[in-house]
């Protein structure tokens, strides 16, 4: 490096013979470069470009900056500095403007700015030399260069060379460290953000960042704002590593830790604010959750002690509004963050524990809490390379030695295996019946089941009953009908007394089967219970699920032979191999005939569809109308239009499903009319899940109600709905970057498409075409 520096010095002298005259001559040449070029003949231009290239190649930039730095110490003219700054930073732009296609590679930004980075290092080297020599030197011009380059959007190029060098140089040298801090501090405020962001992004670890920036955040207000507010709360695009750098940097020095606490406080406030949870995008909430978890991982126990109460309050607040959300991802985020906070603040007491499904995101979030500061010395790329290569070599050397041995083992094992295989080819029988032995016997009658389920606690018997209930109900239809409502009541109130792995499913299946066996009384009971007091939301949603599933079962045509396979599974008669062979014979003959027969029809022969009356048609009203009746009458414990909007959303979906299964029934038209009124009443609901439900209601109305009935009976409602949807679409088009338009459009267009398909050729098509057109207009807007 010293050598390079030496040549650079010499070159400077060569290029600028006398220091005092240099600024003027440079100024002139610049002017010639930028403004008077038009008049310059082509050979002149080429020559100037040549000279410039040589200037860059021979380290002219560092000489130039060093010159300015020296002058600055003796106070030079600001205009000159300004011009110089402009020229140095904008040189690639000027040249590419001028030279167009014939630009030289060295002037391309991707080459120029890394070069500038190394030149800056050289200047810094000289400054450090002169500082060691006791001479005063100003670094602010270099800072300005750096700032301006960063703000011009070239921070990646320049910092990718600058940061690794600085990381190395500051490792053990305190003068370099101070210079580096000064370099960043001297960046003018208007460029500070770009520089700080660049450093946070490029630094390989929090400790490096801390070494490079020093206590910048404490000294510089702008930097503090960027670090504590802008990067954390006002945007959410940084990758996790950058967040870790940033917060780790705050945590590393005691003089900065108060900022960490402040940041955590602000993050927690945002996290706990219900309006933020409702209105900000999921990605931002994920970002904030990550930041909170990283902060928590950095906090010391003492700090937690002093802020326990605040953290606790925020946690309760935030947990509530997260769990209120209809989006599973947000609920999950809330659960993870709350769990993490509680595990940190309750060192000895009970901690929160939620049940959620583990996926990559939850695992990543949890890992953030556990991983502490990044390892103390982040290895510089150079070191890394050095370290990697020998290990790679040794591994490669070791491998061949190990491999044959392992292979030999495998071979010998295989050999012995194949030898054994020869007479071990018995075909195993089905062993699915091999279950854990249950000591108790399941009851055989429905009434016994009710007794067991309500009676004293005998867990084994209870479990056996749960498992057998569905089949018992199916088998004894008549017996079930006698006690159907009672059984439904018992099942609805049933709680999981002991752990059964599929309790929820078993209970639901049993309830659905009861509903199918005796639809009218059970549906009446369930729908009435939906609107009565003293039920949990879970039970109310269970009711909805059961009604929907039962409707599906009832409307599905039952194949007469459907139950046969299950009876085959418990064989009574062993088929002898002899009879099998006769079957094979039949099959072979059939195959032969088939192969010699020519068929003229194309395509596969269609499977015969089983025809059966829709059993749901006669009972659909009992399912539907009691449910839609009372939604606007709040109870003390149940307020559909208020807090319990999640159930309202489920209700809307369930009604849509019920109507869908009531297709081709007489009552469908009345149901459709009621449903459109329901939609109309709720169309401005604030919750997206509810609105989504309304859209499926509309789709299902369009699908299930015959078109002539639609036009005759519910024309007004339809026109209103159409107007509403059109208005919504227009709104969507306006707010194309609205935060949460997601669920709207697909449902709507799908519904439209479906209805269009189902009603080919009806008069309704004209109006629909209008709707579809507006949908088509809306869609691209949303895409952008």
The answer to whether 150 and 191 have CB atoms below 8 angstroms apart is: yes
Residue closer to another protein, measured from CB, 38 or 420: 420
Residue 569 makes contact with another protein by CB under 8 A: yes
The answer to whether 204 and 158 have CB atoms below 8 angstroms apart is: no
Residue 2 makes contact with another protein by CB under 8 A: no
Query: Which residue from 574, 579, 582, 784 is in contact with another protein, where contact means CB under 8 A?
Result: 574
Q: Can you read off the two tokens belonging to residue 26?
A: 């440079």
With CB under 8 A as the contact rule, which of the stretches 142-150, 352-360, 425-433, 515-523 interacts with another protein? 425-433
Residue 399 makes contact with another protein by CB under 8 A: no
Residue 431 makes contact with another protein by CB under 8 A: yes
Beta carbon of residue 569, minimum distance to another protein (angstroms, whole number): 7
Beta carbon of residue 418, minimum distance to another protein (angstroms, whole number): 11
Q: What is the rounded CA–CA span in Å between residue 329 and residue 698? A: 27
Beta carbon of residue 560, minimum distance to another protein (angstroms, whole number): 23
Beta carbon of residue 466, minimum distance to another protein (angstroms, whole number): 21
Q: Can you read off the two tokens belonging to residue 325?
A: 């959300």
Residue closer to another protein, measured from CB, 190 or 583: 583
Query: Which residue from 384, 580, 738, 773 is in contact with another protein, where contact means CB under 8 A?
Result: 580
Query: Which residue from 423, 501, 760, 783 is in contact with another protein, where contact means CB under 8 A?
Result: 423
Q: What is the rounded CA–CA span in Å between residue 655 and residue 698? A: 10
Residue 430 makes contact with another protein by CB under 8 A: yes
Q: What is the rounded CA–CA span in Å between residue 501 and residue 659? A: 33
Residue 501 makes contact with another protein by CB under 8 A: no
* Distance spanning both ends of the chain, measured CA to CA: 51
| 436: number of Cβ within 10 Å | 4
Query: Which residue from 78, 350, 375, 428 is in contact with another protein, where contact means CB under 8 A?
Result: 428
Angle at the Cα of 745 from the Cα atoms of 741 and 748, rounded to 5 degrees: 140
Beta carbon of residue 254, minimum distance to another protein (angstroms, whole number): 57
Residue 396 makes contact with another protein by CB under 8 A: no
With CB under 8 A as the contact rule, which of the stretches 205-213, 285-293, 313-321, 423-431 interacts with another protein? 423-431
Can you tell me which residue has the tokens 């869908």?
A: 660
Residue 457 makes contact with another protein by CB under 8 A: no
Q: What is the rounded CA–CA span in Å between residue 488 and residue 86? A: 82
Q: H helices of 353-476, where? A: 360-370, 381-421, 446-454, 459-475
Contact residues for 335 (Cβ-Cβ < 8 A; gap 6+): 319, 322, 323, 354, 356
Query: Which residue from 79, 301, 348, 424 is in contact with another protein, where contact means CB under 8 A?
Result: 424
Residue closer to another protein, measured from CB, 406 or 433: 433
Beta carbon of residue 433, minimum distance to another protein (angstroms, whole number): 5
* The three-state (H, E, C) secondary structure of 110-170, written as one string: HHHHHHHHHHHHHHHHHHHHHHHCCCCCCCHHHHHHHHHHHHHHHHHHHHHHHHHHHHHHC
Instruction: Please give the radius of gyration of the chain, using alpha carbons only, rounded to the nearest integer.
Output: 38
With CB under 8 A as the contact rule, which of the stretches 220-228, 282-290, 430-438, 609-617 interacts with another protein? 430-438
Q: Can you read off the two tokens belonging to residue 682?
A: 């709720």
Residue 435 makes contact with another protein by CB under 8 A: yes
Q: What is the rounded CA–CA span in Å between residue 407 and residue 405? A: 5
Beta carbon of residue 415, minimum distance to another protein (angstroms, whole number): 14
Beta carbon of residue 604, minimum distance to another protein (angstroms, whole number): 19
Query: Which residue from 348, 357, 395, 436 is in contact with another protein, where contact means CB under 8 A?
Result: 436
Residue 571 makes contact with another protein by CB under 8 A: yes
Q: What is the rounded CA–CA span in Å between residue 643 and residue 654? A: 19
Residue closer to another protein, measured from CB, 428 or 642: 428
DSSP state at residue 640 = T
Q: What is the rounded CA–CA span in Å between residue 234 and residue 280? A: 11
Residue closer to another protein, measured from CB, 573 or 757: 573
Q: What is the rounded CA–CA span in Å between residue 263 and residue 291? A: 9
Residue closer to another protein, measured from CB, 414 or 482: 414
With CB under 8 A as the contact rule, which of the stretches 405-413, 431-439, 523-531, 685-693 interacts with another protein? 431-439
Helix, strand, coil percentages in the chain from 3-state DSSP, rounded to 5: 75, 0, 25
Beta carbon of residue 465, minimum distance to another protein (angstroms, whole number): 20
How many residues sit in the footprint of another protein (CB under 8 A)? 22
Q: Can you read off the two tokens belonging to residue 478?
A: 């008549």
Residue 576 makes contact with another protein by CB under 8 A: no
Interaction site with another protein (CB under 8 A): 420-421, 423-424, 426-437, 569-572, 574, 580
């Amino acid at each position: 490096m010293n050598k390079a520096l030496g040549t650079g010095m010499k070159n400077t002298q060569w290029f600028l013979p006398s220091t005092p005259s240099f600024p003027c001559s440079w100024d002139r040449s610049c002017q010639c470069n930028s403004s008077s070029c038009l008049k310059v003949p082509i050979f002149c231009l080429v020559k100037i470009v040549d000279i410039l290239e040589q200037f860059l190649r021979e380290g002219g930039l560092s000489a130039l900056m060093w010159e300015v730095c020296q002058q600055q110490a003796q106070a030079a003219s600001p205009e000159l500095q300004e011009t110089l700054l402009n020229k140095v930073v904008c040189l690639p732009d000027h040249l590419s403007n001028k030279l167009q296609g014939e630009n030289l590679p060295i002037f391309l930004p991707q080459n120029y700015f890394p070069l500038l980075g190394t030149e800056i290092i050289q200047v810094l080297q000289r400054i450090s030399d002169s500082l060691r020599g006791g001479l005063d030197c100003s670094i602010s011009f270099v800072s300005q260069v750096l700032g301006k380059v960063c703000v011009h959007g070239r921070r990646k190029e320049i910092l990718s060379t600058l940061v690794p060098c600085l990381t190395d140089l500051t490792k053990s040298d305190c003068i370099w460290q101070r210079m580096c801090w000064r370099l960043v501090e001297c960046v003018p405020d208007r460029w500070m953000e770009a520089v700080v962001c660049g450093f946070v992004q490029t630094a390989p670890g929090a400790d490096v960042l801390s070494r490079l920036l020093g206590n910048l955040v404490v000294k510089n207000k702008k930097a503090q704002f960027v670090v504590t507010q802008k990067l954390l709360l006002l945007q959410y695009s940084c990758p996790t590593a950058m967040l870790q750098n940033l917060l780790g940097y705050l945590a590393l020095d005691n003089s900065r830790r108060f900022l960490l606490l402040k940041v955590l406080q602000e993050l927690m406030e945002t996290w706990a604010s219900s309006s933020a949870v409702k209105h900000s995008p999921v990605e931002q909430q994920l970002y904030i959750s990550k930041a909170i978890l990283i902060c928590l991982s950095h906090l010391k126990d003492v700090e937690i002690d002093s802020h326990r109460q605040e953290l606790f309050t925020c946690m309760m607040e935030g947990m509530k509004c997260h769990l209120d959300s209809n989006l599973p991802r947000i609920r999950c985020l809330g659960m993870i963050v709350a769990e993490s906070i509680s595990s940190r603040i309750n060192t000895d007491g009970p901690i929160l524990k939620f049940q959620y499904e583990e996926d990559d995101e939850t695992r990543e979030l949890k890992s953030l809490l556990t991983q502490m500061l990044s390892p103390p010395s982040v290895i510089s790329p150079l070191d890394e390379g050095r370290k990697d290569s020998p290990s790679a070599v040794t591994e490669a050397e070791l491998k061949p030695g190990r491999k044959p041995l392992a292979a030999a083992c495998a071979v010998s094992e295989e050999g012995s295996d194949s030898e054994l295989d020869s007479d071990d080819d018995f075909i195993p029988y089905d062993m699915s019946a091999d279950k854990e032995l249950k000591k108790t016997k399941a009851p055989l009658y429905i009434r016994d089941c009710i007794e067991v389920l309500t009676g004293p606690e005998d867990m084994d018997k209870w479990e056996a009953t749960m498992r057998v209930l569905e089949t018992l109900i199916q088998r004894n239809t008549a017996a079930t009908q006698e006690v159907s409502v009672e059984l439904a009541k018992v099942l609805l109130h049933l709680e999981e007394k002991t752990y059964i792995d599929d309790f929820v499913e078993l209970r639901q299946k049993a309830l659905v089967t009861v509903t199918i066996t005796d639809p009218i009384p059970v549906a009446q009971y369930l729908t009435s219970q939906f609107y009565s007091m003293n039920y949990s939301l879970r039970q109310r949603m269970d009711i909805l699920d059961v009604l929907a599933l039962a409707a599906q079962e009832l409307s599905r045509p039952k194949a007469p032979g459907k139950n046969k396979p299950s009876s085959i599974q418990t064989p009574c008669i062993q088929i002898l191999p002899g009879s099998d062979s006769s079957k094979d014979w039949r099959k072979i003959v059939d195959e032969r005939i088939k192969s010699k027969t020519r068929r003229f029809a194309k395509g596969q022969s269609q499977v015969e569809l089983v025809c059966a009356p829709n059993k749901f048609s006669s009972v659909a009203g009992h399912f539907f109308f009691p449910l839609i009746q009372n939604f606007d009458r709040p109870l003390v414990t149940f307020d559909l239009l208020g807090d319990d909007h999640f159930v309202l959303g489920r209700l809307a979906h369930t009604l849509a499903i019920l109507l869908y299964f009531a297709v081709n029934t007489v009552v469908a038209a009345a149901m459709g009319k009621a449903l459109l009124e329901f939609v109309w009443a709720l169309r401005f609901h604030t919750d997206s899940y509810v609105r989504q439900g309304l859209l499926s209601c509309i789709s299902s109305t369009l699908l299930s109600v015959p078109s002539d009935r639609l036009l005759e009976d519910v024309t007004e409602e339809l026109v209103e709905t159409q107007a509403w949807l059109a208005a919504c679409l227009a709104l969507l088009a306006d707010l194309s970057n609205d935060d949460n338009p997601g669920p709207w459009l697909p449902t709507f267009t799908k519904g439209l498409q479906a209805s269009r398909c189902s009603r080919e050729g009806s008069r309704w098509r004209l109006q629909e075409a209008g709707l579809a057109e507006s949908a088509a207009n809306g869609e691209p807007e949303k895409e952008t």
